[in-house]
Amino acid sequence: MALSNAIEIRNVVKRFPGPGGASDAAVVAVDHVSLEIRDGEFFSLLGPSGCGKTTTLRMIAGFEHPTEGEILIHGRPMGLTPPYQRNTNMVFQNYALFPHMTVGRNVAFGLQMKKVSKDAIERRVQEALAMVRLPDFGPRRPNQLSGGQQQRIALARALVNRPELLLLDEPLGALDLKLRKEMQIELKNLQKEVGITFIYVTHDQEEALTMSDRIAVMHQGKVLQVGSPTGIYERPNCRFVADFIGETNFLSGVVDGQDGDVVTVLAGDGLPIIVEAEGSYARGTQVTVAVRPEKIRLLPNPLKGSQNSFPCQVDQVVYVGTDTRFLVRLPGDIALTVRAQNVISTPDPSGYYSEGGGPVHAIWPSDAGRLLTD
Amino acid sequence: MTDASTTRQNNSLLAAIRRRPGLGVLALIFPSLFWLVVFFFLPLVIVFVYSFLKRGPYGQIVWEFNLQNYARFFDPLYLRVFARSFKIAGITTAVCFLLGYPMAYWMATRPPRWRNTLLLLLMIPFWTNFLVRTYAWILILRDSGLVNNALLGLGLISEPLPLFGNDLAIVIGLVYGWFPDMVLPCYAAIERLDFSLVEAAQDLYANELRAFARVIFPLTLPGVVAGSILVFIPSLGAYVTPDLLGGARSVMIGNVIQSQFLSVRDYPFGSAFSFVLMAMMLVATLLYFRVGGRTL
Ligand SMILES: Nc1ncnc2c1ncn2[C@@H]1O[C@H](COP(=O)(O)OP(=O)(O)OP(=O)(O)O)[C@@H](O)[C@H]1O
Ligand SMILES: [Mg+2]
């Protein structure tokens, strides 16, 4: 399939009247957002509570209309088109199954409204129920289903219409952790199977990383970064993204010099940190080096070469099952978190890596850090 | 010492209740049960017994069992009264629904801080005595009343409109009187409605009208059923409104019962008539619940 755009969001702003009515300052829920989402893509909107994810999704569905800018679905500007004339379907966070209808009639609803023939409705409802692996659930009532089953029926009710776009607003939010992980994989497989563009709203970074082809990270109504899961995780473009996705050490300092794509930053009271970066940075620029805790190793001896290698003191050792977390202190009182996988079954907290032990060296390569200017 | 003994007494009471949980329930419902028996059930029994007795020449009760009172009900005169009462009550209920449901919908979809004010505004007129409010309608509807005077004065009509002393006046009075009883249950049902279901319907290609017919209305039907019963039952048994607003020919069941008890002093026939009315209300209510219950 050609890489056409399923959806294009052009400079969209959404303002809501403030809580005190028209006289009050407006709430800017979505602030100049532009996005292009490709056909067949699993695209996630990720961000903390209140960042405008739901509002963006509701504008695509047609429940809200942009204050400024426009939204195009397969090249057609949507304008004020009402939801029932858009070929999109939404899976609501609380599922919104009709309690007065059986599961079968819930799933059939959209097809009935589109005036599909009775035979075809029956067949497609059966197919949809089989697809979500609940083939015999047609005669049940929504209140006779578990949360996970309701979730699947909501999915079937949307997918049975073969929409151009499926919009999902935190569809797994109400499920327990184990079921959520199962459903993540199931949803991802289903999306590959039907080939429909999914726009998926979540505030769970792990969920977004697991399922998405691409992710847009939102904060305070703005899109900060759009990219693949690795792109977002490995190459965050600002402090907020680096902090929101996973765990990060931030080492602030000033640029001391640049040699090709390797920049030296003086952190704290002059600790020279080397980091690879695109672009050029003037000496004296205020910057932050972001380093993921799992990219730092603790070794008994220093290492030379294109590595950062600093003696440090272990303040705390925390065993967290899969990993052990070390809180260490670099010269100049710079705190650093280090994560090491527990490869050996019984981690020995004595010796070098025990609290107050040492000397230990914190080591990471220059391409493990990320130079941020905000 | 006394403290200790009362405590022990309480303990033994509690222990007794613990041994037989039925006792505890009985203790809890006794006051309301007593009330129901004395003020509701006993009078009902008396009326029921009366309905099988005979009226003496001076209006006294003659203790002689017979079914004459119930047979008299099939007199075409009384059947017509029943038919008219059902028609008036039915029209009243329908008008209350047609006016009340949209109003309830509008109120329930205002911002929450407005809703209580609106409910209060709806209720305020009903703090005035029912009789006074019904009298006010006489002043509005009669030939020389507000409406006719205004229309005559504007030259829109040359003869007063027949607004008073007929079934129309009764329906107006009853609709006015029982309007909140329709609005409140509908309002409660609509306010409880999860509007994300309406959005889900619209998302599934239902336009506003179909979203209403397939989702909003079916889900708020219990409120409509409750409101209809609350309007229909008192309208069917109404007697003040037809007495004041209806003409000599607009007699309803309530007026027949009233006159049997107060002017004709035929207690047995009045009792029988009351019982037939109650039986019909019961049947109507059960039917309505079944219809309402099935679609839910
Ligand atoms: N109908 C509305 N009227 C006024 N303000 C609104 C309305 N809907 C959303 N907002 C505001 O817009 C902002 C974004 O809301 P939105 O629901 O899009 O956030 P979200 O990212 O989905 O958050 P969450 O993860 O908590 O669901 C919030 O500050 C919210 O208070
Ligand atoms: Mg949301």
Q: What is the CATH number of the domain that holds A311?
A: 2.40.50.100
Assess whether A251 and A339 both reside in one domain. yes
Assess whether A239 and A292 both reside in one domain. no
Q: Could you tell me the sign of the dihedral formed by the alpha carbons of A283, A284, A290, A291, in that order?
A: positive
Q: Among A155, A126, A120, which residue's Cα sits nearest to residue A138?
A: A126
Q: Would you say the CB of residue A52 lies under 6 angstroms from ligand 1?
A: yes
Q: Is the ipTM of this complex over 0.90?
A: no
- At residue B177, the pLDDT reads 92
The CATH number given to whatever domain includes residue A50 is: 3.40.50.300
What is the number of structural domains in chain B?
2
Assess whether A292 and A255 both reside in one domain. yes
- At residue A350, the pLDDT reads 47
Q: Name A312's Cβ contacts closer than 8 Å, sequence gap at least 6.
A: A298, A328, A329, A330, A331, A336, A358, A360, A361, A362
Assess whether B127 and B208 both reside in one domain. yes
Assess whether B11 and B154 both reside in one domain. no
Q: Among A253, A219, A276, which residue's Cα sits nearest to residue A332?
A: A253
Q: pLDDT digit string (tens) for A188-214?
A: 998 998 899 999 999 999 999 999 999
What is the number of structural domains in chain A?
2
Residue B55 falls within a domain, yes or no?
no
- At residue B296, the pLDDT reads 43
Residue B39 has pLDDT above 90, yes or no: no
Residue located via tokens 């090709």: A260
Q: Domain range holding B151?
A: 71-295
**CA–CA separation, A347 vs A319, rounded Å?**
9
Residue A56 CA to ligand 1 center (angstroms) comes to: 10
Spatial strand order in the sheet of A262-267: A271-276, A262-267, A249-259, A286-291, A369-372
Q: Are A71 and A78 in contact (CB under 8 A)?
A: yes
Q: Which residue type occupies A3?
A: L
Q: Which residue type occupies B275?
A: F
Assess whether B196 and B117 both reside in one domain. yes
Assess whether A230 and A260 both reside in one domain. no
Q: Domain range holding A354?
A: 247-372
Assess whether B44 and B77 both reside in one domain. no
Assess whether B13 and B79 both reside in one domain. no
Assess whether A126 and A96 both reside in one domain. yes
As a whole number, mean pLDDT of residues A131-147 equals 92
As a whole number, mean pLDDT of residues B27-32 equals 83
Of the residues A223, A243, A263, which one is the last residue of a structural domain?
A243
d(CA B214, nearest CA chain A) in Å: 9
Q: What is the mean pLDDT of chain B?
A: 88
Assess whether B169 and B267 both reside in one domain. yes
Assess whether A143 and A33 both reside in one domain. yes
Residues flanking ion ligand 2, Cβ below 5 Å: A 54
Residue B104 falls within a domain, yes or no?
yes
The protein residue whose alpha carbon is closest to atom 22 in ligand 1 is A54
Residue A351 has pLDDT above 70, yes or no: no
Task: Give the SS3 label for residue A4.
Answer: coil
**CA–CA separation, A302 vs A304, rounded Å?**
7
- Of A316 and B214, the structure prediction assigns the larger pLDDT to B214
Q: Which residue type occupies B144?
A: S
Q: Select from A63, A85, A113 the Cβ nearest to the Cβ of B204.
A: A113
Assess whether B111 and B241 both reside in one domain. yes
Q: Would you say the CB of residue A253 lies under 6 angstroms from ligand 1?
A: no
Assess whether B134 and B97 both reside in one domain. yes
Assess whether A219 and A188 both reside in one domain. yes
Residue B250 has pLDDT above 50, yes or no: yes
The pTM of the whole model exceeds 0.90: no
Q: Select from A89, A94, A114 the Cβ nearest to the Cβ of B203.
A: A89
Q: Are strands A165-169 and A88-91 parallel, antiparallel or unpaired?
A: parallel
Inspect the interface and report whether the beta carbons of B200 and A98 lie closer than 8 Å: yes
- At residue B294, the pLDDT reads 52
- At residue A358, the pLDDT reads 64
As a whole number, mean pLDDT of residues B166-195 equals 94
- At residue B171, the pLDDT reads 95
Assess whether B33 and B171 both reside in one domain. no
Q: Could you tell me the sign of the dihedral formed by the alpha carbons of B239, B244, B250, B256, in that order?
A: positive
**CA–CA separation, B252 vs B236, rounded Å?**
8
**CA–CA separation, B178 vs B232, rounded Å?**
9
Q: Which residues in chain B touch residue A128, judged by CB atoms under 8 angstroms apart?
A: none
User: Which of A171-175, A252-256, A293-297, B46-50 comes out lowest in average pLDDT?
Assistant: A171-175
Assess whether A262 and A201 both reside in one domain. no
